[in-house]
Every structure is written in structure tokens, then in C-alpha cells.
Amino acid sequence: MSFFFICVLALVAGYFVYGKVVERIFVINPDRPTPCCEYRDDCDFIPMATWKVYFIQLLDIAGLGPIFGPILGALYGPSALLWIVFGCIFAGGVHDYMSGMLSVRSKGQSIPEVVGNFMGMSARQVMRVFSVILLLLVGVVFVLGPAKLLGQMLGMNVQLLVGIIFLYYFLATILPISTLIGRLYPIFGALLLFMSIGVVVALVIKGYHIPSLDFAVNTHPGDKPIWPLLFITLSCGAISGFHSTQSPLMARCIQNENRGRMVFYGAMIVEGIIALIWATAGLSFYDNPAAMQSVIAAASPAGVVNEVCNSLLGHVGGFLAILGVVVLPITSGDTAFRSTRLILADAFNIPQVKAAKRLLIAIPLFVIAFVISTQDFAIIWRYFGWSNQTLATLVLWASAIYFAQNQRFHWIATIPAVFMTAVVVSFILQAPIGLNLPAALSNGVGVASGVASLILFLVYVGRCCRNGVPSSPA
């Protein structure tokens, strides 16, 4: 367990050191009015206390991803822990901070509009499609996941629970953000803290440890390769495009730019710690990856959560811990649908102050989501993983372009953007949901795509330096 605590300390240090570097390169302006002050409508644009904004941001982004993803990532071995630490500090934190702060600088616009400001109309349209599809998949996954967990805990009909969760999501989507989300999230946050701390303390007290720290060994029982699958499977907790769709929600509520590092980068760091907890639990709780794989095959990662919580914390503690786990997808599912409403509203220029306008978008949205929810969960999750990381890649490139346009140190966004480009291209070329090409060919083309994207970007940077024209939201 000592390596786990080293990883946690690395993430905390990343917030105070690298997070500050990112903030300085971005160049905040504490005197600049934020969107909640300029465009207050008491529905989506509402000034909120920083602690509340932080909790909402954390619970928005920390869905099933930092639990299910790390459990699945643990099958590959301790390399999952390294990806969480380095991905979170150098990719995920930058991605989340930039998606939030660029939205603050862009009047609280949704992420497709923000990306379009820097990459043009074609990128805006691609982002609109990607974002809506991703958020619908997230919303559906975060209905099915908690419904199955609650069904196991309470012995209730899963379809009934799906209906109840959908009803809550609908209300959270159309009501002012302070009505349900602003009031319930502090309570949900307390459950989240109990779950996280409880699992860690129990692992330590009961003497669990990671059996091997050989990072070169791939322990996946299905012989699935680390590249690129680990970086697609373990997204939330390292880097996740879903986060960029959530950050504009709080960009519309944050009262000062100097709170951005705490809210956006800081929430990513805490999500990374949650991911470390569950990756460590997966690595240490079971005798071998094959044993954990059998539980996953029988009951999805939810089965692992159920076994770990009840075994470590007993029935009462396990019940509370699983409630904490259930909270995470529910508090991301509700804002996933809310974000989708706002993206569509921005795209079609539909004001959202009046309830009738919100219903105009929300009703057909939930009908489509219900139809998707009838499909196979495993297929939905595979498409979610690739679309999620592709969206993250586009946001990183938009961030790099922003820095280049303003003649700032763009490499903090460029390097992770190149890496993620290679990941998503390699994956979609070889995955069964993609072109199903041989791995060697797919990986070669993926790496070449990353290099080519870097060369094209550097040509663009040279043109920006010659023109010396900053972008408007600087």
C-alpha cells in the first residue's frame, strides 16, 4: 500500500506545482467579470459559493468512470497506477482546467462552441455531434450502472429503478441548477468521502497489498495489449472528454477566475485519487487478475464493487460505501443530460430562461435516451470509451491552438494532444467496433497520425508567430 500513498502524494504535488504552472501560462484576470455576473438568469447562470461549485464539479465529472475504468484497468497490472498519476497531472488536469477556463472566457459557452472558436466551424459541428452522442451514452450508462448496483443492494426490480433515475435526471435537467443539484450535492459529497476513505482504511487495516510492482508486465487474463486499450478503458481518473462537457456548467457559476485552478484542475486531481483507490483495490483484493475477471464477466465491474465494499466494511459499512459509489454515476448522469440540453440550446440558439424552452429540448432528448438504454450495456460502454477519448483529444488541440494564438507555451497541451491522437487512432483502427485491422498496422498508423498532427500544428504555430494576432477570449 505504500506505493498507493506515493501516488496520492504525487497527485497532490501535481496540483500545487504543475497546476500552478498551467494557471500562470493561461494568465488569469481576477478583475474580469465572469459569466454568472454578466449573464445571470437564475437558471443556468447563477453565482455560487466556491466550495459548492467545487463539489458540483467533482461530482459532475466523477461518474462510474473513476470506479469501473480503474477496476478494468487493474486487469493490466500496476501500469494502471502510473497512467492515473501521469495522465491526471499532465493531461487530465490540463484538459479540465482549459475546458473550464476557456468557457469562462467565452461567456459560458458549451464546449463545442468553445472549440469552434479556435478550430473553425467544421470542428464546431464535429464537436456538437460528438458531444451529444457522448453525453447520451454517458447518461444511459449512468442510468443502467447505478440501477444495477441498487438492484443488487435492495433486491428491487432494475427496470423500476431505471424509471426512477430517469425521472430524477429529467427534473435535474429542466429545473434551475440551484434547485436540486445545488442542494443535494453536498449530501452526496459526504457519501463519496465515506466511500473513498472507508475503502482505503479497510485495505490498510486488513493488510492488503499490491503483489507486484513490475510495470513492464501485462497481467490481463485475456492477453489484451496495454497499448492502446489501457488508455481507452481507464479514462476518467486520467483524462476524459466527458469532463469538458461538464466544465461549462460551473463556468457559468464560478465568481472569479482565480478559483479556476481549485475548481477545474483540483476536481480532476481528486477524481484521480478515487481512481487510484479502485485500481489499488482491484490489484490487491483478488488473488490474481483472472479471479477479478471472472467476477466482472458474471456481474460487470459492479460485482467487484459489491464484493470489495461488503468484504472490507461489513454489511452496514458496505451498504453506505456502495451508496457512495451509486452517487457518482447519478451525479454525472443528471448533469450529462443538462449539458446536452445546453449544447443543443447553444447550437440552435434557443434561450433557456423559460421552462417551456427547456422542455422543448429535454422531452425528445429523454425519449432517445430511453431507446438507447434498451441496448446491450457492453456495446454502449465500448463506444463510450472511444468517443470519450476522441473528444478529450479535440479539446486538447483546441487548448494548444489557444496558447499558440496568444503566443504562450503551448506544449503543456500539445504533448498530451499528440499522445491522445495516437491512442484514439490506434484504437479505432484495430477495435471490433472500428475497422478491425491488425494491431501492428493500427499502432503504426496511430503513431504516424500523432506525428503528422504535431507537424501540422507546428506549421500553424509558425504562421501564428509571424502574424502575431491574439485570439479574442485572451
Q: What would the grid cell of residue 351 be?
A: 434561450
**Could you tell me the pTM of the whole model?**
0.91
pLDDT band at 213 (very low <50, low <70, confident <90, very high): very high
In a domain, 227, yes or no: yes
Report if residue 269 sits inside a domain. yes
pLDDT band for 134, please (50, 70, 90 cuts): confident
Write down the H helix ranges in 17-120: 18-26, 35-38, 50-61, 65-74, 79-87, 93-105, 111-119
pLDDT band at 377 (very low <50, low <70, confident <90, very high): low
Please tell me the total count of domains within the chain: 1
pLDDT attached to residue 283? 95
Percent of the chain with pLDDT over 90: 60
Q: What is the DSSP string of 205-258?
A: HTT---S---TT----TT---HHHHHHHHS-TTT--HHHHHHHHHHHTT---GG
Distance between CA 340 and CA 34 in Å, rounded?
A: 22
Question: Is the pLDDT at 472 greater than 60, yes or no?
Answer: no
Rg from Cα positions in the chain: 21
Q: Taken in order 214, 219, 225, 227, is the CA torsion positive or negative?
A: negative
Question: Residue 151: inside a domain, yes or no?
Answer: yes
Q: Above 90 in pLDDT, residue 329?
A: no
Q: Among 269, 289, 288, 332, which Cα is nearest to 91's?
A: 269
- The DSSP letter of residue 45 is S
Residue 176: other Cβ atoms inside 10 A: 15
Residue 108 lies in a domain: yes
Q: Is the model more confident about 144 or about 93?
A: 93
pLDDT in the model for residue 162: 87
Q: What whole-number distance in Å separates Cα of residue 427 and Cα of residue 228?
A: 6
Q: Does 469 have pLDDT greater than 60?
A: no
pLDDT at 291 over 90: yes
Q: Is the pLDDT higher at 408 or at 184? A: 408
Distance of CA 17 to the CA centre of its chain: 22
Query: Is residue 470 over pLDDT 60?
Result: no
Q: Which residue has the higher pLDDT, 33 or 388?
A: 33
Q: How far is CA 279 from CA 142, 192, 218, in A?
A: 20, 17, 15
Residue 414 inside a domain? The answer is no
Q: Does any domain span residue 258? A: yes
Is 393 among the domain residues? no
Q: What is the mean pLDDT of residues 356-384?
A: 81
Q: Length of the chain, please?
A: 474
Cβ proximity of 168 and 397 under 8 Å: no
Closest Cα partner for 12 from 358, 185, 265? 265
* Arithmetic mean of pLDDT, 39-48: 93
**What CA–CA distance (Å, rounded) separates 414 from 428?**
21
**Mean pLDDT computed over every residue of the chain:** 90
Domain enclosing residue 30, as ranges: 2-376
Alpha-carbon distance of 367 to 352, in angstroms, equals 20
**What's the pLDDT at 126?**
85
Q: Using pLDDT thresholds of 50, 70 and 90, give the confidence band for residue 474.
A: low
What was the pLDDT predicted at 158? 86
pLDDT at 185: 78
Higher pLDDT, 45 or 59: 45
Q: How far is CA 32 from the centre of its chain?
A: 28
Q: Is pLDDT above 60 for 471? A: no
Cell of 381: 460502454
Q: Provide the 8-state DSSP code for 437.
A: -
CB 368 within 8 A of CB 136: yes
Asked if pLDDT for residue 198 goes beyond 70, the answer is: yes
Residue 44 is predicted with a pLDDT of 93
Is 153 a domain residue? yes
Report which of 317, 316, 461 is spatially closest to residue 402, judged by C-alpha positions. 461
Q: Note the pLDDT of residue 376.
A: 66
CATH number of domain containing 98: 1.20.1740.10
Q: Cell digits for 84?
A: 492515473
Which pLDDT does position 265 carry in this prediction? 98
